[in-house]
Structure 1
Amino acid sequence: MPAHVAIIMDGNGRWAQQRGLPRSEGHHVGNIAAHEMVYGALEIGLRHLTLYAFSTENWKRDTDEITTILEAMQCDLDQGPIRDLDVRQRWLGHPDKLPEELVQALRREERRTRNRTALTLTVCINYGGRDEITRTAAALAQAARAGDIDPHLISEDDFARHLPHPDMPDVDLLWRTGNEQRTSNFLPWHAAYAELHFTSGYWPDVDRRDL
């Protein structure tokens, strides 16, 4: 049984286009699939689930599509079906460019659910793996400048302690839907030894049975 499953939820837009629907409808149904993963994780006793919801590269998309995605995240945080489950919610990413209201909601839910224990759900929003490593390296440099660490003796454990969530375990299984076979700058530190699982179906067609 893996302890940590990370998912690249790919294919919402293509799912909608196949059906002659606006891309926004694909994101709406994809959001329901994300809820299914949370329910499934709780049912099988998975301890850590990490979802790639919005990458730093996604800002290149159409403005209306970006707005739809971010508004759906806001709604989910405010009144979504997982709010009252035994799920510790965490956010991995950077606040730059994100609406302030969304940033405040993400931090609010982190505080509100911090003592829940059944499942740790980490949602990556405005996240990029290289950005995460760059910022961690900067934090290490600051610690070395302050004399808190010897730069000649920096270890992998030292690096891990300066990551945004130092207690996040390594990824056991990284799963990507949508028929693409690449990791797309997702959790490069944590997924260094992950099993990689690529499936052809689009994300909105997934449910808890697939997990």
Structure 2
Amino acid sequence: MIIKTKNKMLYREKIDKTRIPAHIAIIMDGNGRWAKERGHARTFGHQAGAETVHIIAEESARLGVKFLTLYTFSTENWNRPVDEVASLMSLLMDSIEEETFMKNNISFRIIGDTSRLPKDVLDRLKKCIENTSRNTGMCLTLALSYSSKWEITDAMKQIAGKVKRGELSVDEITDKTIDSHLATNYMPDPELLIRTGGEIRLSNYLLWQCAYSELYFCNTYWPDFKEEELCKAICDYQSRERRFGKTSEQL
């Protein structure tokens, strides 16, 4: 059934179900500004944003997305006020609802410099990873204490160590070698990268992996980015021609 609002077809009904991007990455931006415009503290925005995570995860799983990666906390975010960081860490623990993952057959992963996370937060995350590891549907990954510069530097250290030990020669290093040493080595590169909140930059997020991603920027703050906004982004993605260096005639 086609659902219409004021004679306008919803984006959900326009989506080509055969061309859903396998991997969607999102920079969830705008929580603080959303809260301030409503006269609330920034933490109120983060709470609203956490609710949106569950909504978007469920909708992505329903649509058939295989991997959803969310930029949750960057290495640069450690420079925020201490009270805000503490609140974010507390909210992170409270917002991990395994029931949502189990109900939707979603497995859970994290990427980033987890050595900087508080022990109680890391323990809670590890428990969720273990408990959802047998789920076979979409994989939801949170990028926590993450940055591309950290990730690529870490990959280079791993590769250099293998060269030093004689396990790998310099001539054997290819882009596939780097792929396999990144934190995201268990997932394909994102076909679609979404950034909410009106900013037009990648902010040190999946820079290697997004070399050929379609980029989608919108003014909607993350707490307001609900199912229809996600479907709108996917429709925009489906309207583009992905050539990977070829001409239209070669496709």
> Which of the five TM-score ranges fits, normalised by the shorter chain?
over 0.9
Match of 1:193 in 2: 212
Q: Which has the larger radius of gyration?
A: 2
Contact 1:47–1:118 (CA<8 Å) still a contact in 2? yes
Say if 2:118 is the partner of 1:128: no
The CA distance in 2 between the partners of 1:150 and 1:34, in whole Å, is 43
**d(CA) in 2 for partners of 1:44, 1:205:** 19
Contact 2:151 2:182 in 1 (8 A): yes
Match of 2:6 in 1: none
Q: SS in structure 1 opposite 2:203?
A: coil
CA distance in 1, matches of 2:131, 2:156: 30
Q: Matches of 2:51 and 2:159 in 1, distance apart?
A: 39
1:41 is paired with a residue of what secondary structure? helix
SS class of match (1:126): strand
Contact kept? 2:98, 2:128, Cα under 8 Å? no
Structure 2 Cα separation of the partners of residues 177 and 119 of structure 1:
22
Identify which of 110, 119, 122 aligns with 2:129: 110
Question: Is the 1:178–1:199 contact (alpha carbons within 8 Å) kept by the matching residues of 2?
Answer: yes
Q: Which amino acid aligns with 2:42?
A: R
Aligned partners of 2:62, 2:26: CA distance in 1, in Å? 17
Conservation of the 8 A alpha-carbon contact between 1:6 and 1:50: yes
TM superposition shift of 1:164: 2.1
Q: Of 107, 121, 139, which residue of structure 2 is paired with 1:88?
A: 107
Which residue in the other structure is 1:15 paired with? 34
The residue that corresponds to 1:181 in the other structure is 200
Whichever residue aligns with residue 200 of structure 2, its letter is Q
Partners of 1:180 and 1:19 in 2: CA distance? 20
SS in 2 for 1:69: helix
Any unmatched runs of 5+ in structure 2?
A: 1-19, 231-251
- Among 172, 179, 192, the alignment partner of 1:153 is 172
Normalising by structure 2, report the TM-score: 0.81
Give the SS at the match of 1:5: strand
Q: Aligned letter for 2:102?
A: D
Q: Percent identity?
A: 37
Q: Which has the higher contact order (CA 8 A, sep 6+)?
A: 1
From 225, 241, 245, the equivalent of 1:206 is: 225
Equivalence for 2:10 = none
**Equivalent position of 2:184 in the other structure:** 165
Structure 2: how far apart are the matches of 1:37 and 1:109? 19
Shift of residue 80 of structure 1?
5.3
Matched, 1:34 2:53: yes
Task: Name the structure 1 match of 2:88.
Answer: 69
| SS of 2:194 mapped into structure 1 | strand
User: In structure 1, how many angstroms separate the alpha carbons of the residues matched to 2:202 and 2:42?
Assistant: 22
**Does the aligned pair in 2 maintain the 1:39–1:208 contact within 8 Å?**
no
